[in-house]
A and B are shown apart, each in its own frame.
Chain A
């Protein structure tokens, strides 16, 4: 009976411990995440004081993240209303961007890989985008062609928008950012 008890303790400990560790670092960890409107950022992921979960996540794949002094990566998997981004819908990405040397906005799958679409456009940079007179940004993301700045989406399935701000003074204070300093993502229709 003693052996059975010990086997139960070891099986529970090893199974639960390894299982939870795997799930905790299989994707980007929730610890250290900062949510700014629809955007998620991991500002400590690019510094020396990276938390153990983020470090384990980075070590499990070929990751070369942006350094804290180099830039900030923001990931959106949901729109302003909190609904998951879906390739069958149309979205309007609009608003202002923080002060940067340059930024890029791209569409990727849930693992951060760009889609292979017939049209060779995965995103926009600050130099490519056409702005309004007021300087406000308007990008329409949809599978069907749109007027203005059109960001092609895959016809179906979930996707992410990734905004990378290069050489920006805000990367050190990302946790204090308000949503209105970043572009919003509004669903126009499906």
Chain B
């Protein structure tokens, strides 16, 4: 097609009277509608993405957090017994547990199951003693109180799922298992001994009771 042909074709193309008159007026509303539609689609997509980001963030915080109790108290308990973290013993440089009861004494022993299962042995006294297992990234795995003591001692083993299966395979068949086995879904965590000091004069007893909790490798 030559340039001349194109020119004649343009001239001969039928021009509708209505179209010719309204084109400049219609272009703006169309543009605004188009932009509004794009904005609406973009907002919907943004909200869906925001929902995904929200859920993923909330689920990732426990996995990535370095400021949880397990990270803060990782050094405690290497000596084989629980160590105090009461609000009054801040000279050790350890962070004070948040939302802790001022009337209770807390001693902590951290565990790392990569070397094998941990055995926890607590002697009970007259004051209420609670033992809890906290996994890395927040959450209590297990709680037991001194009411479950047998002959004045609360004793349990902390292990991973594989270590439990291994131990179960070694059990003598037909013989009752004499130990309490607790499965931890994380390799690291804390064993927390909490004693309520009912009166200020009980504090020393409570501290002795809490730090008397022994924790070490099971074998």
Query: What is the interface of chain A, defined by CB distance below 8 A to chain B?
Result: 5, 8-18, 20-21, 24-25, 45-48, 50, 52-71, 73, 101-102, 104, 106, 108, 111-114, 122-123, 125-128, 162, 164, 166-167
19 contacts between A and B (CB under 8 A): A5-B38, A8-B42, A8-B46, A9-B49, A13-B49, A17-B56, A20-B54, A21-B54, A24-B58, A50-B140, A59-B68, A61-B67, A61-B68, A63-B69, A64-B108, A68-B140, A122-B102, A166-B145, A166-B196
The answer to whether B140 and A111 touch across the interface, beta carbons within 8 angstroms, is no
CA distance A12 to B48 in the complex (A): 10
Task: Tell whether B98 is near chain A: CB-to-CB under 8 Å.
Answer: yes
Q: Is B218 part of the binding interface, using a Cβ–Cβ cutoff of 8 Å? A: no
Closest to A13 in B: B49
Counting chain B residues whose Cβ lies within 8 A of the other chain, the interface size class is 35 or more
Chain B nearest CB, measured from A173 CB (Å): 16
Contact of A123 with B47 at beta-carbon distance under 8 Å, contacts A62-B97, A64-B132, A64-B192 already known: no
Decide: A46 and B140 in contact? CB cutoff 8 A: yes
The 10 closest A-B pairs by CB, nearest first: A67-B143, A17-B53, A13-B49, A12-B46, A58-B138, A112-B99, A70-B130, A59-B138, A16-B50, A127-B198
Complex Cα distance, B194 from A8, in Å, reads: 51
CA distance A17 to B53 in the complex (A): 5
Q: Which residues on the A side are within 8 Å of B52 (C-beta)?
A: 13, 17
Among B134-188, those with CB < 8 Å from A are 134, 137-145, 147
Find out whether the CB atom of A166 lies under 8 angstroms from the CB atom of B128.
Answer: yes
User: B interface vs A, CB < 8 Å?
Assistant: 38, 42-43, 45-54, 56-59, 61-62, 65, 67-69, 72-73, 87, 95-104, 106, 108, 127-128, 130-134, 137-145, 147, 190, 192, 194, 196-199
B209 CB to closest chain A CB (Å) equals 13
Structural contact, A56 and B198, CB atoms closer than 8 A = no
User: Within the complex, which residue of B38, B47, B138, B196 is in contact with A63, where a contact is CB–CB below 8 Å?
Assistant: B138
* A162 neighbours in B (Cβ, 8 Å): 99, 101
A13 CB to nearest chain B CB (Å):
3
Main secondary structure of the interface of A (DSSP, over half): mixed
Identify which of B47, B67, B198 gathers the most chain A CB atoms within 10 Å of its CB: B198
Partner of A48, one of B56, B65, B139, B192: B139
B138-A50 in contact (CB<8A): yes
In this complex, what residue of A is CB-closest to B131? A70
Q: Is the CB of B57 within 8 A of A18?
A: yes
CB atoms of A47 and B140 under 8 A apart:
yes
Judge whether A17 and B51 touch: CB under 8 Å: yes
Q: Tell me if A64 and B100 are in contact (CB < 8 A).
A: yes
**Residue ID in chain B nearest A120 by CB atoms:** B200
Q: Which residues of A contact B141 (CB under 8 A)?
A: 48
A53 touches B194 (CB 8 A): no
A165 vs B199: C-alpha distance when bound (angstroms):
16
Q: Are B53 and A167 in contact (CB under 8 A)?
A: no
Query: A52 is contacted by which of B42, B59, B98, B104 (Cβ under 8 Å)?
Result: B59
Task: Report A-chain residues with C-beta under 8 Å of the C-beta of B98.
Answer: 61-63, 111-113
Known interface pairs A12-B50, A17-B49. Does A62 touch B69 (Cβ–Cβ under 8 Å)? yes
Question: A70 touching B143 by the CB < 8 A rule?
Answer: yes
Task: Given the known inter-chain contacts A56-B62, A60-B67, please indicate yes or no for A66 contacting B132, CB distance below 8 A.
Answer: yes
CB–CB B138/A67 < 8 A: no
CA distance A47 to B142 in the complex (A): 7
Cβ–Cβ < 8 Å partners of A62 in chain B? 67-69, 72-73, 95-98
**CB neighbours of A114 from chain B (8 A):** 87, 102
